[in-house]
Amino acid sequence: MDFDLTGEHVLFQKAIRNFAQKEIAPLVDEAEETNVFPKQLFKKMGALGYLCPRYPLELGGGDGDKIMDCIMAEELNRVNAGIAASLMVQSGLSTQPIYRFGSEEQKEKFLVPAIKGEKIAAFALTEPDAGSDAASIKTRALKDGDHYVLNGTKIFTTNGPICDFATVAAYTDPSKRGEGINLFIVEKGTPGFSASRKLDKVGNRSIETGELVFEDCRVPAKNMIGEKEGGGFDMIADTLISGRITYGGRCTGTAQAAYDLTVQYAKERIQFGKPIVAFQATRFKLAEMAMNIDIMRSYTYRVAWMYDQGKNVRKESSMVKLFASETLQKILSDSMQIHGGYGYMMEYPIQRYWRDGRLFTITEGTSEVQRLIIASETLR
């Protein structure tokens, strides 16, 4: 294993960092204030091959690896976690099941336009009464000729209000807990499919997150991912493993941004006649932050490398998600403490990273779920 990034990784890192600073950073304040995602970013990133860097060139992707995916997540989150999340759902949760298990027709109609940024995708799994226990979803897909009729409600759906299609989990056979789930591609404009409301959140305000409702929604049978009924739960698990590794990049980018802001503030803030960075209490906090960020980044890359080698990383992906998201909370707390009263003021950007980062121990598998997975894999 080589612990250095390849030349290709370094070039991509510089390119995506430059893009994020020039094209995304100027849009952050308005997106946060209005809770409206700047949709033009999908096409801009798609045209450059940045939107879905892991997918093959022939599909419009960047032909990269999982490490490249994590580099993108880190650089985007250094600028804004909300905008990053919306773009990452496009490159991961909503499209990976189509790439991994979809038909050629589905790839041509949905995946390729999503990679190019011509169609916006969402991933609809969580329901009002089914979060960590994904097998308890109630959305039902009943076969009716060459269609399936979907009924149910999804909540906390990233890109839900703006999506052109959603990858939706539903039971085709409710008698088989978990195993009876399938994934369906549901297009915007399909009768019975609606984004009933946009949700107002404490942080990650530049994401458009919504509630999706399916009422006697007729979906062509050819839009079911996979060749037979059942097996959707395994597809979801496969997708979430990849997503949890990406969360290492998300957390690292947010932590790095908070650290950079805090170092700058500590050098400028004068108390007792000198910058607060000169005080041991502050320096020790900053040293610990720097150490933990390096560990977060290194472990994320290690597990991403294992994933690319085809190794079973169910345990390690949960370790990445758990360690990085929980460590981030301490880094953000210390950053706020060093900023003092100013950190609590909306005019200082550190409060936004603090609000945004709080979500990371909850979404895509809570810390408690990650501990359960790690324990089940370790204590056999």
> Given this model, what pLDDT does residue 380 score?
76
Asked if residue 240 and residue 345 are part of one domain, the reply reads yes
- Span 41-51, mean pLDDT? 95
Asked if residue 353 and residue 250 are part of one domain, the reply reads yes
Q: Is the pLDDT of residue 225 over 80?
A: yes
- Residue 364: active-site member: yes
Q: What is the sign, positive or negative, of the torsion defined by CA atoms of 14, 20, 26, 32?
A: negative
Asked if residue 332 and residue 253 are part of one domain, the reply reads yes
Residue 337 lies in a domain: yes
- Span 146-170, mean pLDDT? 98
Q: Which of 181, 198, 230 is the last residue in one of the domains?
A: 230
Asked if residue 286 and residue 371 are part of one domain, the reply reads yes
Residue 325 lies in a domain: yes
Q: Say how far apart CA 229 and CA 179 lie, in whole Å.
A: 9
pLDDT in tens, 288-325: 999 999 999 999 999 999 999 999 999 999 999 999 99
Asked if residue 197 and residue 106 are part of one domain, the reply reads no
- Span 201-225, mean pLDDT? 97
Residue type at 115 in one-letter notation: I
Number of separate domains in the chain? 3
Residue 78 lies in a domain: yes
DSSP for 37-100, written as a single string: --THHHHHHHHHT-SSTTS-GGGTS----HHHHHHHHHHHHHH-HHHHHHHHHHHTTTTHHHHH
> Given this model, what pLDDT does residue 1 score?
64
pTM confidence score = 0.95
Find where tokens 């802001």 sit: 261
- Span 253-270, mean pLDDT? 98
Asked if residue 324 and residue 259 are part of one domain, the reply reads yes
Asked if residue 245 and residue 207 are part of one domain, the reply reads no
Residue 1 lies in a domain: no
Q: Could you tell me the pLDDT band of residue 97, with boundaries at 50, 70 and 90?
A: very high
DSSP SS3 for 133: coil
Find where tokens 């995304």 sit: 24
> Given this model, what pLDDT does residue 131 score?
87
> Given this model, what pLDDT does residue 90 score?
96
Asked if residue 209 and residue 73 are part of one domain, the reply reads no
pLDDT in tens, 74-85: 999 999 999 999
CATH number of the domain within which 35 lies = 1.10.540.10
Q: Which of 213, 230, 247 is the last residue in one of the domains?
A: 230
CATH number of the domain within which 125 lies = 2.40.110.10
Q: Could you tell me the pLDDT band of residue 168, with boundaries at 50, 70 and 90?
A: very high
Helices 40-48/7-19 angle, 10° precision = 150
> Given this model, what pLDDT does residue 3 score?
79
Question: Of 168, 162, 170, 169, which is closest to residue 188 (Cα–Cα)?
Answer: 162
> Given this model, what pLDDT does residue 143 score?
97
- Span 91-117, mean pLDDT? 97
Asked if residue 239 and residue 294 are part of one domain, the reply reads yes
Which residues form the domain of 282? 233-378
Q: What does the mean pLDDT of the chain come to?
A: 96
Residue 2 lies in a domain: no
Find where tokens 């395994």 sit: 234
pLDDT in tens, 312-370: 999 999 999 999 999 999 999 999 999 999 999 999 999 999 999 999 999 999 999 99
Q: Is the pLDDT of residue 275 over 80?
A: yes
Q: Which of 230, 262, 292 is the last residue in one of the domains?
A: 230
Question: Annotated catalytic residue: which of 316, 364, 368, 377?
Answer: 364
